[in-house]
Amino acid sequence: MVDVARLAGVSLKTVSRVVNGEPHVQRAMADRVLAAVAELGFQRNHMASALRAGRASATIGLIIEELANPFYSTIAHVTAEMARERDTLLLSASSEEDPVREEQLLRDLCSRRVDGLLVVPAGCDHSFLNSQVEMGIPVVFLDRPGTNIEADAVLLDNRGGARNGVRRLVADGHRRIGVLLDTVDVHTMRERLAGAQDALADAGIGYDGALVRGGVRDPATAAAAVADMLTQPSPPTAFLALNNRITVGAVQELWRRGSDAALVGFDDFELSHLMPRPLTVIGYDTRELARRATQLLFARIDGDRSRPRTVVLPTELLDRGLAPAR
Residues that bind a copy of itself (CB under 8 A): 41, 43-48, 50-51, 57, 59, 66-70, 72-74, 76-78, 80-81, 84, 87, 89-94, 107-113, 131-132, 134-135, 248, 251-252, 255, 270-271, 274-276
Torsion angle of the four alpha carbons 122, 177, 322, 201, in this order, in degrees rounded to the nearest 10: -80
Report yes or no: 131 and 284 within 8 Å, Cβ to Cβ.
no
Smallest distance, Å, CB 163 to a copy of itself?
27
Nearer to a copy of itself, 164 or 244 (CB): 244
Smallest distance, Å, CB 57 to DNA?
12
Nearer to a copy of itself, 120 or 170 (CB): 120
Smallest distance, Å, CB 93 to a copy of itself?
6
Measured in degrees and rounded to the nearest 5, phi and psi for residue 215 equal 70, 20
**Residue 135: contacted member of a copy of itself, DNA, none (CB under 5 to 8 Å, by partner type):** a copy of itself
User: Which of 277, 282, 252 is closest to 267 using CA atoms?
Assistant: 282
CA distances (Å), origin 272, targets 72, 178, 251, 278, 320 = 17, 20, 10, 9, 10
Smallest distance, Å, CB 91 to a copy of itself?
5
Judge residue 270's burial from the number of C-beta atoms within 10 Å of its C-beta, 0-12 exposed, 13-18 middle, 19 or more buried: exposed
**Residue 68: contacted member of a copy of itself, DNA, none (CB under 5 to 8 Å, by partner type):** a copy of itself
Nearer to DNA, 77 or 113 (CB): 113
Within the chain, strands assigned E span 59-64, 89-94, 116-119, 139-142, 152-156, 177-180, 212-213, 238-241, 262-266, 280-283, 310-313, 316-318
Q: DSSP letter string over 237-294?
A: SEEEESSHHHHHHHHHHHHHHT---EEEEES--TTGGGSSS--EEEE--HHHHHHHHH
What are the residues binding DNA (CB under 7 A)? Answer: 1-2, 9-14, 16-17, 19-20, 23-26, 28-29, 42-45, 48-49, 51-54
**Residue 59: contacted member of DNA, a copy of itself, none (CB under 5 to 8 Å, by partner type):** a copy of itself
**Residue 112: contacted member of DNA, a copy of itself, none (CB under 5 to 8 Å, by partner type):** a copy of itself
**Residue 2: contacted member of DNA, a copy of itself, none (CB under 5 to 8 Å, by partner type):** DNA
Nearer to a copy of itself, 29 or 58 (CB): 58
The distance of Cα 261 from the centroid of its chain, to the nearest Å, equals 31
